[in-house]
Structure 1
Amino acid sequence: MTQLDASTRGDLPPIEDISELSAYLASGCKPKDQWRLGTEHEKFGFLRDTLEPLPFSGERSIQSVLSGLADRFGWQRMEEDGQLVALKKEGASISLEPGGQFELSGAPLETVHQTCNEVHRHLDEVKAVSDPLNVGFIGLGAAPAWTRAEMPRVPKGRYAIMREYMPKVGSLGLDMMHRTATVQVNLDFSSEADMVAKFRTSLALQPLATALFANSPLTEGKPNGFRSWRSHIWTDTDPDRTGMLDFVFEDGFGFERYTEYMLDVPMYFVWRDGDYLDATGQSFRDFLRGELPAAPGVRPTIVDWQDHLSTAFPEVRLKTFLEMRGADSGSWGRICALPAFWAGILYDEESLGAAFERVSAWTTEQRRQLRLDAARDGLDAKIGDETLGDVARDILPLARAGLKRRARLDSGGSDETGFLAPLEEIARTGRSFACNLLADYEAAGGETAILFEKYAF
């Protein structure tokens, strides 16, 4: 799941033909024995003594944690305008979301066991650096107590452009940027047909992932009426670059059709000579012709296309791999459950076919509505005459069977099915982590401090 580094773009030729754009997506095709899992998760830093958000700079800050990780554990520092904003090591990276959320973008790994080891090692390193600072981290889908104004602002050029643009296209985009956190998994495909089958199945099932991983029922210290407020936020962020992508289910969908979709997604920026040029609302089609107002006479390279692909935020996103984007962030066990869930379904031909058959009768309108209802009602959301809980009790056994057939064992001889246990418990009881958070909150008399005490890493 390696992508070209932005620093190389000056050495690359400009794109000559639109076919190069879909060819780039197709370049992700690889044989099954080369399929990998890339897991990403975000978390919020906070000051343990005050429970305030971790500031960007200062003695106890985001930058001090990043610096400590670099000094103690050999991470390579990445700066922008003299500010430490990211780290890299051995195919993985630690980056910052706009509100200071720490994101581990894991290396492409063969098994869920390896992914879990990577996550555990990362959290151990973060804890070793942050504990002496009396700093903690928590994995939730949205900040449960803090206002938007209280969140730190990461000083990256692309984020400054997005902060100006977001209020023009939706009412919740700034909340998405600064007050939400997710866990995602990236998966490979062998061919265009395989990509299409995985895209359609996973897109239909994203509301199920939202319901199973929902844990953002509180905003500014009060219940917000949603199981996943993070998911709800995406419904009013920017309609040009979010949603369920109805066209994925149409006949003839493939790399070219997704390319056409991306060409219609308005741009955010162009990166040149160490600077982000504001191209908000402008067209990549004009960029291809050298007629972009933000950069007259400049034509894009394939890295500009790579950048542009990263500025669309549908529930499933296509690059040279597929990104599953429907889940709230969570605790260590739930982070590991997401790659297990999707690998069990999408990396096993039998489970993939059965899962698609389970959802193939759903209409466009049902899929759209289910996305909205899953954010509010979780597993109680209805589709037709059944609930998402009913769907979960059918789909999770398919994931388990797929992992069993994958037969990827750890050193103790265990396969990957154990990582599904948290999700199977949720499906059995009908109680998501959001329900547990609300129960803890109510038992504490409406105080969110209990969440930081109980659920911090």
Structure 2
Amino acid sequence: MSEPVCAPEAAARTAQPARESNIEAIVAYFESGIKPHDSLGELGIELEHTIVHDDLSPVPYSGEHGVAWVLAKLQAEYPHATTDLHGDLLGVARPGEAVTIEPAAQLELSAGPFADLVSAREAFEAFEQHLASILSPVGERALTIGYHPTAAARDLELIPKRRYQFMNLYLGAKDIYGPCMMRGSASTQVSIDYTSTSDCLRKLRLAFALVPVFSLITDNTPRFEGAVRTHKLVRTAIWQHVDNDRCGLVPDVLDPDFSLRRYAAYILDAPAILVPCRKEQWCYSDRTFGDIYAERTMTRAEVEHAVSMFFNDVRLKTYVEIRPADAMPIPYVIAYAALIKGLFYDAASLDALDALFANVRAPDVEIAKKDLMAQGYDAEVYGQPAGRLCDKVLAIAECGLDDDDAAFLAPLARLIERRTTLADLAEAEAV
């Protein structure tokens, strides 16, 4: 049985003859990520590093001992290289691990999927040890922190990637913090699998409800634009002023009747910013994806690109990508991965989360973000003290893990118990 069609959707179908086939193409892309039950439990982890000199001043992409040089040094261990049309090195990889760069040359390791947390910890520790062996002799180091500690975003060099040049122009004009998100910030992202459409939508909804909690317990941004922060959860504020067409909550995602078709329609109705083109590889466009592909069905590669142009707190690809956490030191990254594993890969945990967040809707999430930015652990979230809610979430995760995996939660558990964050501790040390 087809879903009811509202008037705007009906008008869009008239103006876009291929709209229905494009909705089906996007839904098919999401459904292609469905995994069998017996393979469930793997995690993908991404951690962005801010490269600085020993005095904490920025290390740009270009120049002597710049990040391009760092990538070239890494290539001995990561032999598969990605370059642009002009030969600029943009990433290196080996099976299971890819090193890429963000708009201002933040260095990201994407690794996994991991079936166990020990392997995840070993992979990230080995990478950072190797990276330090390259950086230390030239007076540089890699920070795992949510925002550049000394620089203003607009002063940071943009890497030579055409995609980012268009995004910088578009997002810079869209709202005040587009360049800050692109150039100054750094995050931790964890990805999880799903076993059916209903499992996908359930995990998507619960992950969005958990965003304020995740943002609080992983807050690691004590400075913003070269100065001491003026409120907590800095990256939450940044994302609220980037582009509401493609950030924050997916519209209606917390509604019980939300569907993959509605997610697909949301993608089609947003401005593209850039699209693949033959002449320059990427071309700017402020038309919506639905209008660009109004006359034909999108290819899988075009769907993948369209999905990649959304930066919601939780993003659906062929997995659920949970995105609100700041970059953190490895013990906290693995603790966060353990938390997510315990919450989303255990049936009883999912049931407990359903009960805990049954009545949460979009306005509640936005209010929670606002209050947490102002008050941190002193805020109320969804009608209860933030600390108490964090305790409940942690307890649910612990019950969803075996003893070995539960031990990895300790770094975050200590912060929650003390009602403090890494950013709070850094502020206290700086006084």
Distance 1:15 1:66, change over 3 A: farther
| Number of the residue aligned with 2:127 | 122
| Number of the residue aligned with 1:427 | 416
For 1:280, what is the secondary structure of its paired residue? strand
For 2:109, what is the secondary structure of its paired residue? strand
| Number of the residue aligned with 1:365 | 363
Cα deviation per residue 1:111-130 (whole Å; 9 max; x = unaligned)? 22221111111111211221
Cα deviation per residue 1:299-319 (whole Å; 9 max; x = unaligned)? 742101101101111111111
| Alignment partners' CA distance in 1, 2:277 and 2:226 | 42
1:113 alignment partner AA = V
Cα distance, 1:207 vs. partner?
A: 0.6
1:182 paired with 2:194, answer: no
1:44 paired with 2:50, answer: yes
For 2:114, what is the secondary structure of its paired residue? coil
1:78 paired with 2:67, answer: no
1:105 paired with 2:95, answer: no
1:33 paired with 2:22, answer: no
Cα distance, 1:254 vs. partner?
A: 2.3
For 1:375, what is the secondary structure of its paired residue? helix
Distance 1:402 1:171, change over 3 A: same
1:195 alignment partner AA = C
For 1:403, what is the secondary structure of its paired residue? coil
CA contact (8 A) 2:56 2:149 kept: no
For 1:268, what is the secondary structure of its paired residue? strand
Which moves more between the two structures, 39-48 or 256-265? 256-265
| Alignment partners' CA distance in 2, 1:277 and 1:58 | 26
Cα distance, 1:246 vs. partner?
A: 4.4
Which residues of 2 match residues 225-244 of structure 1 at below 5 A? Answer: 225-244=230-249
1:281 paired with 2:286, answer: yes
CA contact (8 A) 2:252 2:362 kept: no
CA contact (8 A) 1:158 1:276 kept: no
Cα distance, 1:45 vs. partner?
A: 0.2
Distance 1:15 1:131, change over 3 A: farther
Distance 1:23 1:127, change over 3 A: same
For 1:57, what is the secondary structure of its paired residue? coil
| Number of the residue aligned with 1:141 | 146
1:403 alignment partner AA = L
For 1:149, what is the secondary structure of its paired residue? helix
| Number of the residue aligned with 2:13 | none
CA contact (8 A) 1:227 1:378 kept: yes
Per the normalisation by structure 1, the TM-score is 0.86
Which residues of 2 match residues 267-416 of structure 1 at below 5 A? Answer: 267-273=272-278, 275-290=280-295, 300-383=298-381, 385-404=383-402, 415-416=404-405
| Alignment partners' CA distance in 2, 1:336 and 1:274 | 43
Cα distance, 1:289 vs. partner?
A: 2.6
Distance 1:384 1:353, change over 3 A: closer
2:51 alignment partner AA = G
Cα deviation per residue 1:104-152 (whole Å; 9 max; x = unaligned)? 1112121222211111111112112212222101011111221123322
Which moves more between the two structures, 176-185 or 416-425? 416-425
Note the aligned Cα RMSD (angstroms): 1.9
CA contact (8 A) 1:218 1:224 kept: yes
For 1:105, what is the secondary structure of its paired residue? strand
Which residues of 2 match residues 162-181 of structure 1 at below 5 A? Answer: 162-181=167-186
Cα deviation per residue 1:167-223 (whole Å; 9 max; x = unaligned)? 222110110000000000010000011111111111101110000000113124432
Cα deviation per residue 1:63-113 (whole Å; 9 max; x = unaligned)? 111111112x24322111210111111032111110110011112121222
Cα deviation per residue 1:316-343 (whole Å; 9 max; x = unaligned)? 1111100101111111111112211111
| Number of the residue aligned with 1:245 | 250
| Alignment partners' CA distance in 1, 2:19 and 2:38 | 31
Distance 1:130 1:162, change over 3 A: same
1:216 alignment partner AA = T
| Number of the residue aligned with 1:17 | 21
| Alignment partners' CA distance in 1, 2:100 and 2:417 | 36
CA contact (8 A) 2:255 2:361 kept: no
CA contact (8 A) 1:288 1:299 kept: yes
Cα deviation per residue 1:30-78 (whole Å; 9 max; x = unaligned)? 1122232100010100111x4211121222110111111112x243221
Distance 1:347 1:92, change over 3 A: same
Which moves more between the two structures, 386-395 or 233-242? 386-395
1:105 alignment partner AA = S
Which moves more between the two structures, 430-439 or 113-122? 113-122
2:423 alignment partner AA = A
CA contact (8 A) 2:247 2:312 kept: yes
CA contact (8 A) 2:250 2:263 kept: no
Distance 1:223 1:242, change over 3 A: same
CA contact (8 A) 1:146 1:221 kept: yes
Length, aligned pairs only? 411
1:378 alignment partner AA = G
Per the normalisation by structure 2, the TM-score is 0.91
| Alignment partners' CA distance in 1, 2:116 and 2:278 | 39
CA contact (8 A) 2:254 2:360 kept: no
For 1:51, what is the secondary structure of its paired residue? coil
1:427 alignment partner AA = I
Cα distance, 1:274 vs. partner?
A: 7.6
| Alignment partners' CA distance in 1, 2:150 and 2:122 | 31
